[in-house]
Amino acid sequence: MGHQAAMTETYTTPARLLHWLIAAFVLALIPVGFALKFDLVPDSTHRAIAALHISVGLTVLALMAARLIVRASAPHPALPAALTARDQLIARLGHAGLYALLLLMPVSGVIFIAAHGHAISWFGLVQLPALFSTEHHRIGKLFALCHLVGGIALTLLIAAHLYALHKHARQGVRLLPRMWR
């Protein structure tokens, strides 16, 4: 299957920690979000699960802000030369899409909830200020749709990210150790 790429360069410890924390939270948020959207959650627990979903989503937003700071302030490994120019472009676009969606999903969720007149808190500890003085159902519906479409797009991008990791590993380009060690 080809060339072995000896890759010793790794991401910094803070970058790796943030990557895996965000990944774990997002992999929990996605199925819960779809369960909430499609009423697969019992009415008796819907409000509590939605509040937890919102709180974890806000946590992801904070972690993504930290991730952007770490990425801007610390060196990160270049894409391996063993990847074709096309694959490098796809990787850059895919990562940009993941970053954008991981920032936009919590924001769209907050706007969608706030526009329907609901209070937003972070784990019941911090109350977010009201974004709207009255209910704005049209804005809420628009951002609910953005949140749903974003969730689908994020799910597809994560699947593509995992597929690319596997594909390149089969070609001898081991990318996972860069984010693991």
Most confident of 3-7, 10-14, 117-121, 160-164: 160-164
Contact indicator for 7, 77 with CB cutoff of 8 Å: yes
Q: Which residues are CB-neighbours of 94 under 8 A, at least 6 positions away?
A: 157, 160, 161, 164
Residue 139 CA to residue 160 CA, distance in Å, equals: 31
Query: pLDDT of 20-63, one tens digit each?
Result: 999 999 999 999 999 999 999 999 999 999 999 999 999 999 99
Residue 33 placed within a domain: yes
Once rounded to an integer, what is the mean pLDDT over residues 175-179? 90
Average pLDDT, the chain: 93
This prediction's pTM: 0.90
pLDDT at 40: 97
User: At CA 150, angle to CA 122 and CA 111, rounded to 5?
Assistant: 40
Q: Is the pLDDT of residue 150 over 90?
A: yes
Counting the structural domains of the chain, the total is 1
Does residue 98 come out as left (phi exceeding 0), alpha (psi in the -120 to 50 range) or beta?
alpha
For the chain, what percentages of helix, strand and coil (3-state, to nearest 5) are there? 70, 5, 25
Residue with tokens 């774990």: 24
State the CATH number of the domain containing residue 52.
1.20.950
> In percent, how much of the chain has pLDDT > 70?
96
pLDDT of residue 3: 35
| Domain presence at residue 2 | no
Q: Is 22 among the domain residues?
A: yes
Question: Is 3 a member of any domain?
Answer: no
Q: By the 8 A CB rule, do 12 and 74 touch? A: yes
pLDDT tens by residue, 68-108: 999 999 888 999 999 999 999 999 999 999 999 999 999 99
In a domain, 1, yes or no: no
- Over range 109-114, report the average pLDDT: 96
Would you give the distance in Å from CA 38 to the centre of its chain?
A: 20
Q: How open is the CA angle 146-152-155, to the nearest 5 degrees?
A: 135
Residue 100 lies in a domain: yes
Residue 23 lies in a domain: yes
Residue 6 lies in a domain: no
Q: How far apart are CA 48 and CA 68, in angstroms?
A: 30
State which residues form the domain around 49: 13-77+91-180
Q: Tell me what pLDDT residue 106 has.
A: 98
At residue 4, the pLDDT reads 38
